[in-house]
């Protein structure tokens, strides 16, 4: 919990929160490094590779102009929103109105958090996957909503069983969160599942919030779909995407939401009160990323595939059980036989080998017994990490 000052206590809506897991982990890793340990981080999903040169060059060139340093339009420049619409048309054959169905974000995480603030009233239910990205839950709690988790289980390919959600819960539900390709499990969803989701949302008058930042990191011939490809999706859904993972621009903080125009407008109104948009040259670089040459992404994905295969082989050799992910930048693995406490296991692994992974329980109680490995680390370091892990767990 947050350390409280009796004279200046925090608001109740945040008083129960712990620091974000990776912030606390970073402090521990810094201490280990100071003691001389060589730490290999395969925990956080932050790409280690840079964007293509033409994207960086656009940022530099635009930054040198004298007229690009003022405030940018709330929700993104017209050029950026048009580029998002062009991307959706080229990638998914989805026609979007850039003026009303697209908004630029300061990274998609900002939009994920803000959605709960503009949709949930106190007591409204947000249905959140478990395991799942923590912001889906924390944003709902801070908004005063009631967060109800639904399990993602291996026996159902980490897809939700929508029919198992109680009717009394559905009556109070405003948002259903989904995320495919999935973090942390690497699971994928097909078009038939998305069709089921849209029908489900229509029947129960629920907004679907689909978090889709990994649709362009795919392997083995797989090509991830967009929820927006389903007829009628824009009536009941909003989809978040990001340049962080697709274009290796995580630190640039540039993302987007597309879909239902009313929800887009709610986000616009909220953003107009809380932020002053993104640096203009970053929007310009985003336009280049979305509309420029895309072939370099295939080469980048081959790097991730090589790393994925190294991790899969290493974990299996160390006694883990797992499926080979077809997308995203994570490998989700069940702990070796006899191991049930993911926090204790990952802590010992870090302390004794210098290899930092993420305990599955960080993503929810149904993540217990798993760990997550990120592919966003140099290939030679991943090789070394797997070697240490195999030797340690023999």
Three-state DSSP at 372 gives strand
Please indicate, yes or no, if residue 63 is contained in any of the structural domains. no
Burial class of residue 142 in the structure, from the number of CB atoms within 10 Å of its CB (0-12 exposed, 13-18 middle, 19+ buried):
middle
Please indicate, yes or no, if residue 360 is contained in any of the structural domains. yes
pLDDT tens-digit readout, 43-87: 998 999 999 999 999 999 999 999 999 999 999 999 999 999 999
Q: Is the pLDDT of residue 28 over 60?
A: yes
pLDDT score, position 21:
82
Q: Is the pLDDT of residue 4 over 80?
A: no
pLDDT score, position 14:
82
For residues 25 and 128, the model is more confident at 128
pLDDT score, position 2:
59
Please indicate, yes or no, if residue 1 is contained in any of the structural domains. no
Which residue, 291, 311, 336, sits at the end of a domain? 291
Token duo for residue 29: 């890793």
Residues 39, 307: Cα–Cα separation, whole Å = 18
3-state helix, strand, coil in the chain (%, to 5): 45, 15, 40
The answer on 348 and 208 residing in a single domain is no
pLDDT confidence of 1, banded at 50, 70, 90? low
The answer on 272 and 158 residing in a single domain is yes
Please indicate, yes or no, if residue 56 is contained in any of the structural domains. no
Residues 326, 132: Cα–Cα separation, whole Å = 18
What single-letter DSSP state applies at residue 336?
A: P
The answer on 337 and 217 residing in a single domain is no
Please indicate, yes or no, if residue 5 is contained in any of the structural domains. no
pLDDT tens-digit readout, 82-115: 999 999 999 999 999 999 999 999 999 999 999 9
The answer on 304 and 216 residing in a single domain is no
The answer on 110 and 257 residing in a single domain is yes
pLDDT score, position 393:
85
Contacts of 163 (CB under 8 A, 6+ apart): none
Confirm if 249 and 243 have CB atoms less than 8 A apart: yes
Please report which helix (H) or strand (E) contains residue 239, including its range. strand 237-242
The answer on 254 and 131 residing in a single domain is yes
The answer on 152 and 110 residing in a single domain is yes
Please indicate, yes or no, if residue 55 is contained in any of the structural domains. no
What single-letter DSSP state applies at residue 272?
A: H
Least Cα distance to 230 among 199, 263, 269, 265 occurs for 199
Q: Please tell me the pTM assigned to this model.
A: 0.95
CATH number of 129's domain: 3.40.640.10
Residues 109, 114: Cα–Cα separation, whole Å = 9
pLDDT confidence of 17, banded at 50, 70, 90? confident
pLDDT tens-digit readout, 346-365: 999 999 999 999 999 999 99
* Residue numbers of the domain that contains 140: 68-291
CATH number of 313's domain: 3.90.1150.10
pLDDT confidence of 3, banded at 50, 70, 90? low
Cis? peptide before 131, omega within 30° of 0: yes
pLDDT confidence of 19, banded at 50, 70, 90? confident
Give CB contacts under 8 A, 24+ apart, made by 1-10. none
Please indicate, yes or no, if residue 6 is contained in any of the structural domains. no
pLDDT score, position 9:
85
Token duo for residue 143: 């908004």
User: Dihedral sign, CA of 288, 260, 188, 371?
Assistant: positive
């Amino acid at each position: 919990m947050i350390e409280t000052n009796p004279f200046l206590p925090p608001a109740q809506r945040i008083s129960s929160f712990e620091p974000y897991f990776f912030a606390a982990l970073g402090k521990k890793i810094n201490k280990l490094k100071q003691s001389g340990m060589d730490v290999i981080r395969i925990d956080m999903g932050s790409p280690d590779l840079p964007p293509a040169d033409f994207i960086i060059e656009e940022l530099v060139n635009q930054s040198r102009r004298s007229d690009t340093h003022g405030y940018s339009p709330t929700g993104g420049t017209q050029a950026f929103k048009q580029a998002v619409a062009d991307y959706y048309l080229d990638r998914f054959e989805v026609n979007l109105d850039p003026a009303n169905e697209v908004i630029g974000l300061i990274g998609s995480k900002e939009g994920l958090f803000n959605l709960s603030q503009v949709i949930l009233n106190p007591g409204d239910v947000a249905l959140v996957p478990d395991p799942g990205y923590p912001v889906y839950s924390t944003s709902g709690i801070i908004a005063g909503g009631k967060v109800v988790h639904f399990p993602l289980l291996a026996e159902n390919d980490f897809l939700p069983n929508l029919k198992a959600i109680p009717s009394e819960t559905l009556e109070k539900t405003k948002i259903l969160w989904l995320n495919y390709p999935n973090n942390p499990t690497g699971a994928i969803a097909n078009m038939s599942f998305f069709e089921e989701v849209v029908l489900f949302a229509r029947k129960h008058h629920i907004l679907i919030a689909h978090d889709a930042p990994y649709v362009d990191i795919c392997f083995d011939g797989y090509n991830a779909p967009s929820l927006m490809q389903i007829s009628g999706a824009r009536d009941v859904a909003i989809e978040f995407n990001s340049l962080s993972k697709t274009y290796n621009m995580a630190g640039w903080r540039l993302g987007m939401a597309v879909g239902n125009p009313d929800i887009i407008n709610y986000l616009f109104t909220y953003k107009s009160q809380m932020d002053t948009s993104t640096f203009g040259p970053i929007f310009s670089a985003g336009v280049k990323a979305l509309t420029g040459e895309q072939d370099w992404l295939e080469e980048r994905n081959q790097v991730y595939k090589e790393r994925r295969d190294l991790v899969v082989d290493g974990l299996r050799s160390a006694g883990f059980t797992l499926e080979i992910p077809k997308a995203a930048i994570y490998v989700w693995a069940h702990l070796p036989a006899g191991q049930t406490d993911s926090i204790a296991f990952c802590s010992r692994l870090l302390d004794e080998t210098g290899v930092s992974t993420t305990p599955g329980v960080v993503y929810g109680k149904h993540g217990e017994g798993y760990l997550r490995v990120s592919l966003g680390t140099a290939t030679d370091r991943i090789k070394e990490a797997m070697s240490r892990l195999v030797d340690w767990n023999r």
